[in-house]
Chains A and B, each alone.
Chain A
Amino acid sequence: MSSNSAHSEEAHEHPTWSTYKWIALWLTLITVVEVWAYYIPAFVASNYFVPALLIMSAVKFTVVVMYYMHLKYDHALFRKLFVGPLIIAIATFFALMFVFRKMFQ
């Protein structure tokens, strides 16, 4: 019984080869756009450059975690084990940037 429930908890659908192929294509495309943006001086100098790069990077990060790491299809506990520390890490990042950037100014 417990073995059966264990197996049913772990049973999850994985994306197909076609999905993996399209994800790889999109990841490559986003990387090309990122690098392309880097070589446009007017865009680099604008206020949109950093947010645009951060959004593209976040999209790539999320896609890999959700599809390649199967977090979208896996048990909710795995999501909590990943997202919990990630939130702590991001909060620590902002706290450090706030404290030290202010100190150096």
Chain B
Amino acid sequence: MATDAAHDAHEHHHYTTTGLDHKKIAIWAFIGSECMLFMSLISTYLIYKGKSVVGPWPHEFWCKATNTAAATAEALAGCPADQIYKPILNIPVTSASTFVLLMSSLAMVLALAAVEMKDQPLPAGAGLGDRMLRSSKLWLWMTAILGATFLGFQAYEFTSFVHEGLTIKTNLFGSSFFTLTGFHGAHVTAGVIWLLTLLAIDYKRGLGPKDALKVDIAALYWHFVDVVWIAIFTLIYLIQ
């Protein structure tokens, strides 16, 4: 009997000699290795920054006819109007997508909190707000939708870049930019799929405190994707 209980206790949590769950140690080790991957991609982007021999460029106006760049369109005097390309990075759109990803992190911590508190009774006189805070489905949906929205912004950005003449083959900026942000987008996509699998489990049998570790691990991955974007947004988009 006692053995069965001990077996049940260990069914979902496999502890190591450190007393910590091995899955949580693994996700932190994975996140550590991902830090190195993304730092190498960011380094590559910054090393090649300003080394492209043809446009379009991220922060400068570009005259295609003469292949010259300038900080303002007026500085490209003599260039035909239809040959002037504006700076390719769209800061308002990217700012909106950054806000969306930050809010998805908030939704994710609330999803984890909702799963951890699932067994606790609601306080007397609990209102709609309290009920919403206890709904893991709501916050998991919210996180997945915000993640998908971020991917929508990225798809829009990539499409507009291609229409403006920047592809992964155009110049060093295009190669390093699409590789870096494409890798990040792939990570967000994996995160959204992970969230949808958690939602499927939640609908099938309900997520409860015994599943908190599963949600915690997914949350760690999701927040990591968010912090990588915090670095990318500043280093690639804002610093000129």
Interface residues, chain A, CB within 8 Å of chain B? 2-3, 5-6, 8-10, 14, 17, 20-21, 23-24, 27-28, 31, 34-35, 37-38, 44, 49-50, 53-54, 56-57, 60-61, 64-65, 68-69, 75, 77-78, 81-82, 84-86, 88-90, 92-93, 96-97, 100-101, 104
Contact between chains at B223 and A64 (CB < 8 Å): yes
B142 → chain A, closest Cβ, in Å? 13
Q: At the interface, yes or no: B28 with Cβ under 8 Å from chain A?
A: yes
Total A-B residue contacts, Cβ distance less than 8 Å:
141
Main secondary structure of the interface of A (DSSP, over half): helix
Query: B40's contact among A34, A84, A92, by CB below 8 Å, is which?
Result: A92
Contact between chains at B234 and A64 (CB < 8 Å): no
Instruction: Decide: A90 near B95, CB < 8 A? Known: A6-B20, A24-B106, A53-B234.
Output: no
- Taken together as a complex, chains A and B put the C-alpha atoms of A60 and B10 apart, in Å, by 37
Interface residues, chain B, CB within 8 Å of chain A? 6, 9-10, 13, 15, 18-21, 24-25, 28-29, 31-33, 35-36, 38-40, 42-43, 46-47, 51, 91, 95, 98-99, 102-103, 105-106, 108-110, 112-113, 116, 133, 219-220, 223-224, 226-227, 230-231, 233-235, 238-240
Contact between chains at A27 and B102 (CB < 8 Å): yes
Main secondary structure of the interface of B (DSSP, over half): helix
Contact between chains at A64 and B105 (CB < 8 Å): yes
